[in-house]
Amino acid sequence: MSKDAIRVEHLTKHYPDFTLDDINFTVPTGSIVGFVGENGAGKTTTIKSILGIIQSKGNVEILGMDAHEQEQEMKEQIGVVFDENHFHECFKAKQIDTIMKQMYRNWDTALFTQYLRTFQLPSGKTIKEFSRGMKMKLAIAVALAHHPKLLVLDEATSGLDPIVREEILDIFLDFIQDENHSIFFSSHITSDLDKIADYIIFIHNGKIVFNKEKQELVETSGILKCGKDIFNSLPKTEIIRYRQNGFGYEVLVNRVHPLFRNHPDWVVDPASIEDIMLFMVRGKMA
């Protein structure tokens, strides 16, 4: 088993109005990697390039296999969930079971049926009668029922109510308990990634801005709230991004830096992944 579930090198895709620009990252085996960025940043283009749905330049290795040369073998071992239903609305769950048996050598009808029960999905109703949450649960049941080693999720919790999202996140955490399993999870709901991700990759305007361990990112990032005098006294090297408002300045900083330990009177609040993302997109550089 490769130590990386996904390895992406120099992934590039040009459109008239957008470029996915020399993307490089890995998804370590046994981890959940959150892929964040605003709408239009390049998340879906990256995922579709990795899966071979769109043609791009660069090298992609999935589960130790070349994603292009060993495409069929590779797809047997991954489960994919997009944010939209890709099954015909007239199908029933039991018909999907029949279809998937023909597509995957490892398709497990008993496991699929178990997920239908867990998610309380009626096997006799057509998909058009399902709510958005039910459709997403069905897609996840299908993705998991052929015993994949890797899940690739594109906005899989988007538009779901908090209770359903929590239920699905628990399923993902159960999946990852086997250290040979991995998840690459694109989402703009950063609170979901706060709960389950091991690493965070942030993409903006088609470029990777950072790729860090989530724990390190959250433990070291802080927001300094201050007036003009303190702001002007800060070394520019310690200002990651800043925003100015009617009350003064908010500055994204490394809160474990000695500078801030030496000024206990300065207010430095912890920063969430969403805070960091907003500062990187909307904040100014010093």
Q: What is the pLDDT of residues 106-144, one digit of tens each?
A: 999 999 999 999 888 988 889 999 888 888 889 999 999
Q: Provide the pLDDT confidence category of residue 160 given band limits of 50, 70 and 90.
A: confident
State percent of the chain over pLDDT 70: 99
Residues 212-224: tens digit of each pLDDT: 999 999 999 999 9
Q: In angstroms, what is the C-alpha Rg of the chain?
A: 21
pLDDT for the residue 271? 94
DSSP strands (E only) in the chain:
4-15, 18-28, 32-36, 57-62, 65-66, 78-81, 150-154, 182-186, 199-204, 207-213, 221-226, 241-245, 248-254, 267-270
In whole angstroms, how far apart are CA 223 and each of 88, 142, 249? Answer: 47, 42, 10
Question: How high does pLDDT run on average in the chain?
Answer: 91
Using an 8 Å Cβ cutoff, are 130 and 159 in contact? Answer: no
Structure pTM?
0.91
166 alpha carbon, distance to own chain's centre: 16
